């Protein structure tokens, strides 16, 4: 076909072979995959400059992705991010809307974080990468474990020393900037205190304790019902 032979933009097989050799050397130099560049060469309408541009652009894109990943990873590993995240998780644990403190808590909180990353100061791009999402999940699990331990310790102190639930709650959230103590938090801690009290009695950890909650740590009109509930969720206190 004369029109094909006269088309200066259409490279013949010999030129395509030469371009592929050049592309292979260039990709090796830039340490990038050859596949994308070779596909461009196979169109038969590329010049050396286009090959160079494509290879350079590919290298740039890969570098940008690597830098973004490293930046997000550095954020997840930073101490400031961990402290801020723990404060937000503590607010979640003290929320009246939470129904479990250990069982499936991490799963539900991760779903909430993914829907509202701005609240927790988590970059939305973290949830677009499986590895970063996994790292965040492990961090959330570690922080929840720390919070559970802190709550348990403060509750046991309150139970054994019969301290005021208000003072105990303030001690728990001491240092959690931005978290204001409200009556709802006191009610939540009173409920947990009663649950833990019954749990400790049921396991004979503190045999001298009585079932009735004293006025300083809250009270309940249905201790039997609460005892059944604590038995069902005893893992939350172990």
Place of tokens 């993914």: 114
pLDDT in tens, 158-199: 888 888 888 888 877 776 656 777 777 777 788 788 878 777
Instruction: Output the pLDDT for position 231.
Output: 42
Instruction: Output the pLDDT for position 159.
Output: 82
How far apart CA 162 and CA 186 sit, in angstroms, is 15
- Which of 39, 57, 72 is a domain's end point? 72
In a domain, 6, yes or no: no
| Same domain for 94 and 68 | no
| Same domain for 43 and 140 | no
Residue 187 CB-half CA count within 13 A: 6
8 A C-beta contact, residue 44 and residue 11 = yes
How far apart CA 157 and CA 167 sit, in angstroms, is 11
| Same domain for 85 and 65 | no
Can you give the residue range of the structural domain that contains 28? 13-72
In a domain, 197, yes or no: yes
| Same domain for 198 and 172 | yes
Instruction: Output the pLDDT for position 118.
Output: 93
- Which of 44, 72, 100 is a domain's end point? 72
How far apart CA 172 and CA 76 sit, in angstroms, is 24
Q: Range with the lowest mean pLDDT among 38-42, 84-88, 207-211, 214-218? A: 214-218
pLDDT in tens, 199-233: 777 776 565 555 455 434 333 333 343 343 444 34
In a domain, 148, yes or no: yes
Length of the chain measured in residues: 238
8 A C-beta contact, residue 193 and residue 206 = no
Q: Which of 39-48, 54-63, 135-144, 217-226 has the highest mean pLDDT?
A: 135-144
Alpha helix stretches (DSSP H) within the chain: 2-6, 13-30, 35-42, 48-77, 79-93, 105-115, 130-161, 165-172, 183-202, 223-232
**Structural domain tally of the chain?**
2
pTM strictly above 0.85:
no
């Amino acid at each position: 076909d004369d029109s094909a032979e006269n088309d200066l933009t259409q490279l013949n097989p010999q030129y395509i072979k030469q371009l592929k050799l050049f592309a292979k050397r260039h990709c090796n130099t830039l340490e990038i995959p050859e596949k994308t560049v070779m596909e461009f060469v196979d169109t038969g309408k590329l010049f050396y400059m286009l090959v160079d541009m494509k290879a350079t652009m590919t290298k740039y894109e890969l570098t940008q992705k690597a830098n973004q990943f490293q930046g997000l990873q550095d954020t997840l590993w930073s101490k400031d991010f961990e402290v801020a995240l723990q404060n937000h998780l503590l607010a979640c644990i003290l929320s009246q809307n939470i129904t479990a403190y250990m069982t499936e808590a991490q799963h539900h909180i991760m779903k909430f974080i993914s829907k509202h990353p701005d609240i927790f100061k988590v970059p939305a791009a973290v949830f677009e990468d499986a590895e970063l999402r996994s790292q965040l999940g492990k961090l959330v699990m570690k922080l929840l474990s720390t919070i559970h331990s802190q709550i348990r310790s403060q509750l046991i102190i309150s139970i054994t020393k019969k301290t005021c639930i208000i003072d105990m709650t303030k001690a728990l959230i001491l240092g959690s900037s931005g978290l204001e103590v409200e009556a709802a938090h006191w009610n939540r801690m009173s409920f947990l205190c009663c649950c833990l009290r019954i749990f400790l009695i049921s396991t004979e950890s503190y045999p001298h304790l009585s079932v009735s909650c004293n006025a300083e740590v809250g009270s309940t009109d249905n201790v039997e019902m609460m005892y059944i509930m604590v038995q069902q969720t005893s893992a939350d206190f172990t």
